[in-house]
Structures are given as C-alpha cells and as structure tokens.
Structure 1
C-alpha cells in the first residue's frame, strides 16, 4: 500500500466514522440507521474508502459483513483517531470552563451500588456543573466504547479482558456472596447448602461474563447441575427488584448485599470466586480534566471502602 494515499486529501473524517459504525453494527443497514443516512450513502462511502486504501475491508455475507484483517486493523486506528479528536474538543471546552466539562463512565455490576454513586456525589459537591454520563453494559461492549472514545473510563470488575490498548488500576478487593431478599425462606439459617439453593429460582449473570463462567465451574466442582429455573441479567436494579419480590437467589458483589435492609446474604462459601474492582483506562489517551476529577474521587472513595 502506498502510505501517502492516506494523506493526499481523499481520506475524510466521515470515512473513519463510517468504518466505526460498520464494524460495530455488522451490516450496511445497521450502519446507515446509526448514522442517519441511506444505505447507498454507506455503500458508496465504503467503496470510496476501499479504493483509497487499495484493500477490501469487509467480507460480505448473507447475514451482514465481517471485517477482514485489513478492516479490523483500520477500525482500530480509526477509533483511536476519533477518540483523540473527541478528547481534544472536550479538553479545549474544559480549559475554557473547567467546571462545565463532561465525563463518560462505563459501568458493570461491581462498584455500581456504592463506589460510583458516592464518587459522583462527592465530585458534584465540588463541581456542581460538571456532567457525569453513566453507561451500563457488558465488559466487552464497554471496551469497544473505551477504544472508540465514547467513554473515558470503565469501572467494574478487573478481568483478563483488555490488552495493550488499556491500563487497569485496582481500587479494592471484593468477594462475591449469595444474596436473596430479606423475606426469603432461607434467611436466618445457620447453614445453607448448594442443593438448598438450587430448589429456588436463580438470577445468573449473562453467559458472556467471567462471573458466569466461574459460577458454572463452581457448580461442576460441587456436583450440582446449573439451575434450570433461572433468569439471566446483569442490571443491578432489575436483579435487586427480583430478589425483593420473589424467592430468587443471586450471586453478587459483597457490597451490594451489605447495608441494604431489603436484601440478605446467605452463609454459602464461595471462596474460589472473588475479584478486584478497579478502573480500566485507555493506554494511549490522556484523561481530560473532568475525567481526571472523577478518577481522583473514585480512588479516594475506594480507599474508604477497602479499609472496611
């Protein structure tokens, strides 16, 4: 490939936005809908970009498109450029008015009930006009958004996910516990066995999560089949309400069940399952002033939680 092609004026910002949308949506139809343009506009833009690069970026199939090795590589670079441009624009705005910035944080279950709300409350006390945007999703989806610059940082369980494009920072250690509603028939028992629990409905994390795989391994080690009567959910509000309203059982980060009068933890040892809660940051992109303020506050609040 002739490298100067990328700098001869034909490559436009819209091409980078297009590639990001195509890879995320997996189809021309989905990309057109997300960009609010027609399908012919998307198809024409993709043809133009492939002509500029001299390679095919996607394999076309009956169910959509899949990035080729060239498409996957170019998507990574396109998202990095878009993220840097977005960060630059926000940085300029924040310099002009340091208290009116915006920070976008991605969240999954761990840290969502105490750490993040307390950190937001603290940072808003000092900077009331700073806007905090919270997005809840799976770790995999949040990593894509972090890479693309749609979020500034991810708060949640630190897993093996990630790579050279991210930096992970531990904030505190947290165990997982079996949690039920306060009125559950198993509350108050000095001992509860795994077979006792299987007799009740379960709320399990989605199959794409690390915790789900760990729970499946836990059941196998204990010779108990995974509960058939189950709901799969990672939304804390939904999980909590189901626990309160039904006799369902869930495995949740320890701090979620602690201090909530409508929830109770059961004495079931889950010793092999525990995790670090922390933040995942972009490796090659400095945080803006607003995101840095929230990160500093998260560290402070986490220190208080870790000391418990």
Structure 2
C-alpha cells in the first residue's frame, strides 16, 4: 500500500476536526450539528479524507457509524495534531502577556474537594488574571478530553501505571471511608466491623459510578466479606450530589478521606475498607508541551500537596 501524501495541500484542518467529531458523536448528523455544517457537507468532507488516505475510516450502519481500524488510528493522530496546535496558540499568547493565560484542568471526585481548590487559590494570589477552567467528568471521559487537547491535564485518582500515551505523577496517597451524617443512628455505634457491615445493607447507599476503578474495588470488598452490593443505592461521582444526600438522608457513602476531613456534619463509620485506597495525582499527555499557565498550576498543586502531607 502506497503511503498517502498528507502534505500535498489536499488535507485540511477541517478534515481533522471532522474525524474527531465523528468518532465522539457516532453519527454524521451529530458531527455536522456540532460543527455547524450541513450533513451533506460533512459526508462530502469525509469522502474527501477517505480518498486522500485510500481507506475507509468509518463503517456505516443503521444506528450510525463505527470507526474502522484505520479510523481509530487516524483519529488518534488527528487529535494529537489538533491538541498541539491548540497548545501552540495559547503558548504564543501567554509569552506575549506573561501575567495572563488560561489553563483547563479536568477533575473527578478524588482531589477535587481540597487539593485543587487550595492550589487554585494559591495560584490566583500570584497571577490574579490567569483564568482557570475546571471540568468535572468521569475518568474515561476526561482521558478522551485530554487526548484531544481540550484539557491540559487531569487531577484525581491514578488508576493505572504510566503508558506510552500518558504520564502520571503521584502527589499523595489517600484512604477511602464509609461515611454518614453526624446525626445518623450508626454514627454513635461502637461495634465490630463484621457486625456493622451486615447492618449497613438495610440503609440506602451512594456508590461510585460503575465506570470507576473505585467502584470495582468496593464490589470486591463486599464480595470478600460475603455480601452483594446494596440494592437501595445511588451511583454518582458528583460530590455536590453526594454531600447533599448525606446531609439530608440516612444514606451511607463511600468517599475519599480528605473530602470529609474538615466537615463536622459528616462522620466516619468504624468499618475498615483496607485495601481500598488510592493515589491522587496528575495525568498528562506524553510528549505534549504544556503552556506556562498549565505549568504554573502544576507547581501550585505540587506545593499544596506537599503542605498537606503531614495531615494525610
């Protein structure tokens, strides 16, 4: 197969943007709507790109489109190019005005309640005109945003070892707790772990979403102790939702210890979840140049985490 000439002027940036949108949306209609073009225009652009590459990038089906092996590979490269161009533009702007800039950080439950707010507050004292954009989503969704360059890095739980595509940097280790509101009937009990765990199943629960590593570890914890997951449960990674339900109902929640450490309205239950725990840190895309603003927030996160270490 002859290597396609991608620098002969036929390949346009709109082709790269289209491939990214098609892969995420799963339909030509959805991609066209996102890019504010007509469906025929999107279809025509896709045909142009497939002619340039000499392969089919997507398979058409009754419910939408599915990327072929060629489509998956080219989409990764397209996202890398778009991400680098986004970073390049921001880098030039920030070099022209060193006190300003924008950093976009993704976060999920771990690290979002204490570490990230403190680091942002410290950074804003030094660079008040730097804009920090925080996007909260599931770990898998954030990795997709990171790959496409729509966020600079992720702050949260480190769930897998470093690979070729991402770099993970640990900031601290954190335990996981079972918690209830301070006035909960279980909060004042002093019982052995096995006695308490059996009684907990009669209460409503909040568990991490099934897409998270923490959820899988909680499931394994219950299985090791001979119990199925509680049937009366809510599944979410939204801390605001978790906290409000904790304060207003008899729900039991699984949360990282730092999230509830300074909240007198929430109490820990005497149930050890060992070995359920995690490392909190940074997830960055390998071989991608970070903007000065992103580097500044990373330094603030590292300094903040170091100052928290004796309290962990």
The 8 Å contact of residues 99 and 130 in structure 2, kept in 1 or not, is answered as yes
Q: Give the 3-state SS of the residue equivalent to 2:105 in structure 1.
A: strand
The 8 Å contact of residues 153 and 282 in structure 1, kept in 2 or not, is answered as yes
| Residues 31-40 or 227-236, more deviating | 31-40
Q: Give the 3-state SS of the residue equivalent to 2:255 in structure 1.
A: strand
Is 1:272 matched up with 2:275? Answer: yes
Structure 2 counterpart of 1:284, from 283, 287, 296? 287
Q: Give the 3-state SS of the residue equivalent to 1:177 in structure 2.
A: strand
Please name the residue that 1:94 is paired with: 94
Please name the residue that 1:112 is paired with: 112
Question: 2:4 and 2:287 mapped to 1: Cα distance?
Answer: 24
The 8 Å contact of residues 143 and 162 in structure 1, kept in 2 or not, is answered as no
Q: Any idea what the Cα deviations from partners look like across 1:40-60, whole Å, max 9, x if unmatched?
A: 111111111001100000111
Please name the residue that 2:296 is paired with: 293
Is 1:34 matched up with 2:34? Answer: yes
Give the count of matched residue pairs: 308
Change (3 A) 1:213 1:162: same
Name the TM-score, length of structure 2 as normaliser: 0.96
Question: 1:255 and 1:152 mapped to 2: Cα distance?
Answer: 24
Question: 1:245 and 1:63 mapped to 2: Cα distance?
Answer: 42
Please name the residue that 1:50 is paired with: 50
Question: 2:264 and 2:61 mapped to 1: Cα distance?
Answer: 53
The 8 Å contact of residues 4 and 52 in structure 2, kept in 1 or not, is answered as no
Q: CA RMSD in A?
A: 1.1
Name the TM-score, length of structure 1 as normaliser: 0.98
Q: Any idea what the Cα deviations from partners look like across 1:116-136, whole Å, max 9, x if unmatched?
A: 000000000110000000000
The 8 Å contact of residues 155 and 283 in structure 2, kept in 1 or not, is answered as yes
The 8 Å contact of residues 25 and 31 in structure 1, kept in 2 or not, is answered as yes
Structure 1: runs of 5 or more not aligned: none
| Runs of 4+ with >3 A deviation | 1-4
Question: 1:287 and 1:151 mapped to 2: Cα distance?
Answer: 11
Is 1:73 matched up with 2:73? Answer: yes
Q: Any idea what the Cα deviations from partners look like across 1:208-239, whole Å, max 9, x if unmatched?
A: 11111111111111111110001111001111
Structure 2 counterpart of 1:258, from 261, 270, 274? 261
Structure 1 counterpart of 2:225, from 216, 222, 225? 222
Change (3 A) 1:291 1:209: same
Please name the residue that 1:235 is paired with: 238
| Residues 181-190 or 112-121, more deviating | 181-190
The 8 Å contact of residues 4 and 53 in structure 2, kept in 1 or not, is answered as no
Question: 2:9 and 2:161 mapped to 1: Cα distance?
Answer: 37
The 8 Å contact of residues 177 and 251 in structure 1, kept in 2 or not, is answered as yes
Is 1:212 matched up with 2:212? Answer: no
Question: 2:102 and 2:300 mapped to 1: Cα distance?
Answer: 15
